[in-house]
A and B are shown apart, each in its own frame.
Chain A
Amino acid sequence: MGDWVQSLIDGGMVPAAIPAWVHYLTAALVFGGVIVFGFVLPIAGITTWVERRIVGRIQSRIGPNRVGPAGFLQWLADGLKSMLKEDIVPTAADGPLFRFAPYVVMTGFVGTFAALPFTSALIVADLNVGILYVTSVTALVVVGILMAGWASNNKWSLLGGIRSAAQIVSYEIPAGLSIFPIVLLTGSLSMQDIIRSQGAGPFSWYLFANPFTFVAFFVFFVSALAEGNRTPFDLPEAESELVAGFATEYSGMRSVLFFMAEWGNLYVIGAIVTTLFLGGWQIPFAFENRIVQHVLEFATFFLKSYGVGVLVPIWLRWTLPRIRVDQMMTMCWKYLVPIAFVNLLGTAAWMLWVAPWVQMLVRVTLLGATFAGILMFLRRVVYHLEYAKLGRRHLSFNPLGTARSPG
Chain B
Amino acid sequence: MEYIIANFIQINLSTALQVILLGFIGGVLSGFIGSGGAFFMTPGMMNLGVNGVVAVASNITHKFGKAMVGSHKHGKAGNVDKKLAAYILGTAIIGIQIAVAINSFLFKGASGHGVAKGAGSNLYISLVFAIILSFVAVSMLKDVLGSSKSGSTDSGPSRKIVDAMAKIKLPPVIYFKVADITVSLWVLMPIGIATGYLAGTIGVGGFIGVPAMIYVLGVPTAVAAGTELYLAMFMGAYGALSYAFQGFVDIRLTMLMYLGSLIGIYLGVYGVKVVNERYIRMVTSLIILLCVISRAIAIPMYLRQLGLIDIDPAYDVYFNMTSKFFLFFSGISGCLLILINVIRAYMQRRGIQKTLRVVKSTAE
| A, B co-complexed | no
A-to-B contact residues, CB < 8 Å? none
B-to-A contact residues, CB < 8 Å? none
